[in-house]
């Protein structure tokens, strides 16, 4: 009997993995057998009633794990429509790791929490949905709108930028959609402001978060992904992440140091050492015209005091009052002052964005 149960589990698990999903279970003999495998360490259970092989789960990144849970939940609850940051993950947008949970859905059965509180359901009737990444989710425009109005400027901008970069959505179309939704939605002003800054040029969510943080600190928005000439290869351009050109002609270049380019074997050209050598050669060519070059990490972007000190030391120009203090608290403003403040309450502690 146990051999038959084990065979069934293996078949079901392989089929779930083929779909990129966790295996969902129902009360009964298979559930008891899955629980025994969980106790032995052979399986993991990322959510109640969902299972995956521990070895396979360890190889998945944050986005793949989230989608695996969502696909299984979609099988368990066919009436659920994923929304908010969960829908953003399904649409392959840049979502900060800390925003992957709780999973967010809309359902006609009412607002409540499911699966140990790790799935948040909101009430909605006849929500327009699309099928994307194997799950039912809100449309791209609605997804971006909800994320921009519910989350802080840096994380909302990362999602909006990636929608323009990946999703075939134009900046004008996004602004028009937000305007059409109107102020009846909580966070409308925040969404409208974020949409006005959306730009497809940042290569990843962390660049978007860095750009938004610069603006929060009162600095002039930089030009993005700017080509500079390669002195050793005429006609070939090297791109820099951020650039400011001062009135006196001084050029300041900002470069975000991403660890993935060094450690990811698919991106480092064969080894971390080769990636570091290639980056040093690139920077030596960029410096031939003697610009100022600021290098900063995601961790430095997340520390508003240190990031502000870095930008200030290198002479990055300011063009407006800061919207946050260096500790991450809102910058004091007169009562009559406009602008968006509510979403800029704190530093962002988990900045890495899953693409």
Rg (the chain; Cα; Å):
23
Does 326 fall in a domain?
no
Answer yes or no: do 153 and 96 share one domain. Answer: yes
Answer yes or no: do 188 and 298 share one domain. Answer: no
Q: Average pLDDT, stretch 21-25? A: 94
As for how many domains the chain has, the answer is: 3
Q: Average pLDDT, stretch 8-33? A: 91
Q: How confident is the model at residue 62 (pLDDT cuts 50, 70, 90)?
A: very high
Mention every residue, 6+ apart, whose C-beta is less than 8 A from residue 4: none
What CA–CA distances, in Å, run from 171 to 163, 175, 340? 9, 6, 20
pLDDT in tens, 94-122: 999 999 999 999 998 877 888 888 999 99
252 pLDDT more than 50: yes
State the Cα–Cα distance between residues 169 and 62, nearest whole angstrom: 25
* Range scoring the smallest mean pLDDT among 16-30, 142-156, 193-207, 270-284: 270-284
pLDDT in tens, 300-349: 999 999 999 999 999 999 999 999 887 656 666 543 333 333 333 344 54
What's residue 275's pLDDT? 54
Answer yes or no: do 12 and 136 share one domain. Answer: no
Answer yes or no: do 133 and 7 share one domain. Answer: no
What's residue 232's pLDDT? 64
Pairwise pLDDT comparison (4 vs 79), residue with the higher score: 79
Q: Average pLDDT, stretch 52-66? A: 97
Does 336 fall in a domain?
no
pLDDT in tens, 132-186: 999 999 999 999 999 999 999 999 999 999 999 997 799 999 999 999 999 999 9
Q: How confident is the model at residue 281 (pLDDT cuts 50, 70, 90)?
A: low
DSSP secondary structure letter of residue 199? -
pLDDT in tens, 222-247: 999 999 887 666 777 788 999 999 99
Answer yes or no: do 188 and 266 share one domain. Answer: no
206 pLDDT more than 70: yes
Asked if residue 159 lies in contact with residue 355, where contact means CB atoms within 8 angstroms, the answer is: no
Mention every residue, 6+ apart, whose C-beta is less than 8 A from residue 210: 242, 254, 256, 296, 301
Collapsed DSSP state (helix, strand, coil) of residue 117: coil
Answer yes or no: do 95 and 159 share one domain. Answer: yes
pTM for the model stands at 0.85
Does 24 fall in a domain?
yes
Answer yes or no: do 252 and 176 share one domain. Answer: no
267 pLDDT more than 60: no
What's residue 29's pLDDT? 81
Q: How confident is the model at residue 264 (pLDDT cuts 50, 70, 90)?
A: very low
Answer yes or no: do 194 and 229 share one domain. Answer: no
Collapsed DSSP state (helix, strand, coil) of residue 250: coil
Does 15 fall in a domain?
yes
Answer yes or no: do 75 and 199 share one domain. Answer: yes
Answer yes or no: do 45 and 143 share one domain. Answer: no
What's residue 335's pLDDT? 39
Q: How confident is the model at residue 269 (pLDDT cuts 50, 70, 90)?
A: very low
Q: How confident is the model at residue 285 (pLDDT cuts 50, 70, 90)?
A: low
Domain range for 276 is 219-319
354 pLDDT more than 90: no
Which of 40, 59, 78 lies at the terminal end of a domain, its last residue? 59
Answer yes or no: do 183 and 275 share one domain. Answer: no
Q: Average pLDDT, stretch 267-295? A: 63
What's residue 300's pLDDT? 95
State the Cα–Cα distance between residues 132 and 23, nearest whole angstrom: 20
Answer yes or no: do 118 and 238 share one domain. Answer: no
Does 343 fall in a domain?
no
- Mean pLDDT estimate for the chain: 86
Which of 59, 91, 106 lies at the terminal end of a domain, its last residue? 59
């Amino acid at each position: 009997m146990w051999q038959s149960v084990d065979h069934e589990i293996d078949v079901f698990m392989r089929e779930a993995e083929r779909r990129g999903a966790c295996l969902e279970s129902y009360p009964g003999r298979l559930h008891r057998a899955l629980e025994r495998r969980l106790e032995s360490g052979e399986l993991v259970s990322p959510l109640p009633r969902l299972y995956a092989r521990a070895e396979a789960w360890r190889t998945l990144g944050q986005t793949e794990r989230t989608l695996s849970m969502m696909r299984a939940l979609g099988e368990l609850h066919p009436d659920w429509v994923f929304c908010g940051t969960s829908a953003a993950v399904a649409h392959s947008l840049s979502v900060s790791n800390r925003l992957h949970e709780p999973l967010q859905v809309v359902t006609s059965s009412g607002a409540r929490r499911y699966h140990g509180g790790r799935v948040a359901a909101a009430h909605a009737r006849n929500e327009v949905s699309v099928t994307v990444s194997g799950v039912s989710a809100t449309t791209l425009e609605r997804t971006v709108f909800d994320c921009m109005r519910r989350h802080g400027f840096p994380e909302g901008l990362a999602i909006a930028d990636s929608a323009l970069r990946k999703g075939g959505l134009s900046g004008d179309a996004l602004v028009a959609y937000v305007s059409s939704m109107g102020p009846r939605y909580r966070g409308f002003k925040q969404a409208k402001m974020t949409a006005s800054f959306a730009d497809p040029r940042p290569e990843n969510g962390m660049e978007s978060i860095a750009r938004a943080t610069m603006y929060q600190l009162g600095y002039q928005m930089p030009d993005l992904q700017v080509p500079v000439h390669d002195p050793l290869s005429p006609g070939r351009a090297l791109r820099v992440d951020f650039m400011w050109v001062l009135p006196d002609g001084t050029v300041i270049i900002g470069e975000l140091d991403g660890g993935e380019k060094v450690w990811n074997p698919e991106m480092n050209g064969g080894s971390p050492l080769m990636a570091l050598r290639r980056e040093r050669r690139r920077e030596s060519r960029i410096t031939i015209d003697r610009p100022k070059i600021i290098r900063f990490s995601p961790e430095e972007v997340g520390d508003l005091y240190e990031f502000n000190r870095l930008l200030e030391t290198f002479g990055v120009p300011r063009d407006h009052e800061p919207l946050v203090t260096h500790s991450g608290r809102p910058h004091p403003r007169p009562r009559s002052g406009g602008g968006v403040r509510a979403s800029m309450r704190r530093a962002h502690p988990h900045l890495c964005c899953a693409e």
